[in-house]
Amino acid sequence: MKSQPVFALAHLLGFDLMPRIRNWKGLTFCRPSKQAEYVHIDALFGESGKNVIDWELVESQFRHLMRVAVSVREGAISSSTLLKRLRSGSRKNATYTAFREVGRVIRTVQLLRYLSDAPLRRRVTAATNKVESFNRFSQWLGFGNRGVIADNDPAEQEKTMKFNALLTNAVIFHNALDIAEIARQLLEEGWEVAPEGLAHISPYLTEHINRFGEYSTHELGIQPEAYETTLDVDFTPLREQDPAAAGFGQAT
């Protein structure tokens, strides 16, 4: 339910949102009308006459939907803020409900495309794997404080995320240069390097990276001097001192 406005906003902004579908059991396709029935896939749409799109609501709220989309495109409101409001929006709100209806339409179309197009499924899976690998690599580099952003200031949070993204891209660039250099060396030695083979090499390599730096350990072999249990101090004058003069006299 919460993902439906996301499909709507992506469509209004001109994006073709195609997430990878892991679990189909909880997904219900939407019918364009109560009379719509399908020979081989009607079970995907649930009970006959149910899960029908409210086109009249979409038409009545179309102007508001476009106004919101233009506001996001022009930067008057961020997409994250809008989606947060839509996710927490009341179903009694007509604009929210219209976003949900458009999202149901777009999601149903995308699910049908995903179901019927095997090459599309492979492209979506490959793209999603790359994104997930990048996120894991970025989290691996952001190991400080276990990757938790503890600051409550949004500006500091954004700064931390941007610094982490900058570091991640810098390491990826360095890895790509190393991979290219090794490929050139192999070619000079007479090895055959096929583009298909290079395509399987990921720039998210971590084995050669020392996140914690290098530390000198030559002092580990130095033996410390023996520990002296007694101090070369004569405490006799302190023991013989009058307790009252030392400030430990009895209270009067």
Question: Which residues in the chain show pLDDT less than 70?
Answer: 1-2, 83, 85-92, 227-252
Picking from 133, 139, 136, the residue whose alpha carbon sits closest to that of residue 200 is 133
Per DSSP, what are the bridge partners of residue 52? 31
Q: Running DSSP on this structure, what letter comes out for residue 222?
A: P
pLDDT of residue 239: 58
pLDDT at position 26, please?
74
Query: How would DSSP label each residue in 32-53?
Result: SSTT---TTTGGGG-STT-SB-
Looking at residue 251, its pLDDT comes to: 45
Task: State whether the Cα torsion 8-13-18-23 is positive or negative.
Answer: negative
Tokens 């649930």 -> residue: 46
Q: What is the pLDDT of residue 169?
A: 94
pLDDT score of 166: 94
> Do the Cβ atoms of 7 and 18 come closer than 8 Å?
no
Q: Kindly report the CA angle at 90 between 63 and 78, in degrees rounded to 5?
A: 60
